[in-house]
Amino acid sequence: MALYGVRAHGAQDALVDRIESWWNNTARPVVQLPYASAAIAKAALNAYLTQQIVFGGILHHLVKRFGESPAAVIDAMACDRRFNRAYMKGMMPFGGPCFPKDLDAFTTAVDEADFPATFLRATRESNEIMARRIAYDILTTGAERIGLVGVAYKGGTTVVEHAPAVAIAGELQRASPSTPTRKGVECRWWDPLVTAPPDGLGPRTPQDELWEWADCLVLLHGSFYGAEPPERTTIYDPWS
């Protein structure tokens, strides 16, 4: 969907032509609204999707605690036509340039409209808890050399803004700091598209070196990207 807002009536025709030309050859709709309505619609949509992502992560965690299959539970829920399974994909925090920003903007707008946005703040808090939960699960493997595979906020992009990888690495360091008597965990990373180190992470490690060095690989995009690791390596996939 292409959603845009206009402030002045006279600007509409030229804007419509430009957007529809850019959006040509797709089956997606073009939606025009007054500026304020468009801003609310964008922020509200992304805030709603963040809730689905967080709910999916909580559900995934709960089902696995019972030793059951998250996929089977979601398949059962999907038999009800009211259910949307699009964002029920593992226990992975949301990130990127849009979701956190729009959730915060929508939270502020709801607060300022005299309706306490408690449930929206809980969404943000639960997202942070997911990063801590992933770090805890990784640490319970006993691994000390952690290889993060895929540090962009999602696969197929170079964008690292608010990437979950940075939050997870930070939680790993906080949960297992270096001390005079014990070395904490060390994190290295590789991504097929990202080359510059995101804030909070060290320099990029070549894939073959990371595979040899790590005793645990964390598949943040749910993929090995075609290179199988040594059999001795522990694999942690928050999507499975």
> What span, in angstroms and rounded, lies between the C-alpha atoms of 94 and 225?
21
Task: Provide the angle, in degrees to the nearest 10, between the axes of the packed helices 118-139 and 99-112.
Answer: 150
CA–CA gap between residue 113 and residue 43 (Å, rounded): 15
Confidence label for 62 from pLDDT (cuts 50, 70 and 90): very high
In the predicted model, is pLDDT for residue 19 greater than 70? no
Q: Do domains 2-130 and 133-236 have the same CATH topology?
A: no
Tens of pLDDT, residues 88-128: 989 999 999 999 999 999 999 999 999 999 999 999 999 99
pLDDT over threshold 70, residue 87: yes
CATH superfamily of 2-130: N-(1-d-carboxylethyl)-l-norvaline Dehydrogenase; domain 2 (1.10.1040.10)
**Residue 47: is its pLDDT beyond 70?**
yes
Q: Does residue 58 surpass a pLDDT of 80? A: yes
Q: Residue 226: its pLDDT value, please?
A: 87
Using an 8 Å Cβ cutoff, are 225 and 210 in contact?
no
Across all residues in the chain, what is the average pLDDT? 89
Report the pLDDT value the prediction gives residue 168, as an integer from 0 to 100.
Answer: 95
Return the pLDDT at 79.
96
pLDDT over 70 at 131, yes or no: yes
Handedness of CA 96, 101, 103, 104 (dihedral sign): positive
The per-residue pLDDT for 198 is 87
Q: Do the Cβ atoms of 73 and 60 come closer than 8 Å?
A: no
35 vs 5, residue with greater confidence: 35
Q: Tokens 């992933």 sit at which residue?
A: 134
Taking residues 200-211, report their average pLDDT.
Answer: 92
Boundaries of every domain in the chain: 2-130, 133-236
Tell me which H or E stretch contains 216.
strand 216-219
Q: Sheet containing 234-236: give its strands across.
A: 186-190, 145-149, 216-219, 234-236
How far is it, in rounded angstroms, from Cα 42 to Cα 103?
A: 10
The pLDDT of 136-160, averaged and rounded, is 94
- Architecture per CATH, domain 133-236, reads as 3-Layer(aba) Sandwich (3.40)
Tell me how far apart the alpha carbons of residues 129 and 217 are, in angstroms, rounded to a whole number: 21
Burial of 81 (0-12, 13-18, 19+ CB in 10 A): exposed
Distance CA 191, CA 152 (A): 7
Residue 10 in this model has a pLDDT that exceeds 80 = no
Yes or no: say if 145 and 216 are a contact pair by the CB < 8 Å rule: yes
The percentage of the chain sitting over the pLDDT mark of 90, rounded to a whole number, equals: 72
